Structure 1
Amino acid sequence: MNDHEFRLYLKIDVVQLDFWVEQGWLIPERSSGQRQFRDADVARARLILDLMGNMGVNEAGVDVVMDLVDQLHGIRESMGKLLTVIGRQERDVQQRLLESLEDVDRF
């Protein structure tokens, strides 16, 4: 979705969108010199609108929330890779890892 479609869809103006991009809250792709937005950008923009509108979060707060969202997505990606690698191991290795995890939970 291009810049204009994105703004129309979310009912925001160019100043607002430019600010979000400058803050790094949205990082659109570039194609032929124009910004292109994905579904993930729409979801992030909706979150920003909710935070700043309905929840009354200020810019510094939005910055913190977006950073935490990014960290969470990074952790989920890492966990997915880890689970894939563990799933490729032999059964006895998987069992030892599971037992080790249970031992850690006891602390």
Structure 2
Amino acid sequence: MRLYSETEVVARVEGMTVTRLRAFVAAECVRPSEAEGHVGYAEADLARLRLAAELAQDFELDPHASAMVLSLVDQIHGLRLALRRLGEAVGEEPDEIRTRVRARLRGPGAS
């Protein structure tokens, strides 16, 4: 796994400074990884830092507020994955069960 140093992160993420990066780390927007004795940031961390930097600039969010938004984004992604898996599981069931599930999802009184 390729890890990027602080200097590389600052060069690759628009609007990032070492001070801002360290503030995002302190707020737990990202957590540096360690591999082969090196500490750095993975490609996914760079994506999170890009979003955090955009939030900070566009909405004037401090690092802790950015961390909260990133946490909510993580939750949404987790829910989407769970719903996709649920849909796939229901799709593998017999027609009778799929029909009953659809009816239950529509709720009482729905046509």
**Counterpart amino acid of residue 92 in structure 1:** E
Aligned to 2:92: 88
How many percent of aligned residue pairs carry the same amino acid? Answer: 24
Q: 1:71 to 1:8 in 2, by over 3 A?
A: same
Higher helix share goes to which structure? 1
> Where do 5+ consecutive residues of structure 1 fail to align?
none
Secondary structure of the residue that 1:54 maps to in structure 2?
Answer: helix
Aligned to 1:16: 20
> Where do 5+ consecutive residues of structure 2 fail to align?
none
Higher relative contact order, structure no. (Cα contacts within 8 Å, ≥ 6 residues apart): 2
Equivalent in 54, 59, 64 of residue 55 of structure 1: 59
Q: 1:29 to 1:94 in 2, by over 3 A?
A: farther
Deviates more, 1:59-68 or 1:43-52: 59-68
Give me the whole-angstrom Cα distance separating, in 1, the residues matched to 2:109 and 2:50: 36
RMSD: 2.3
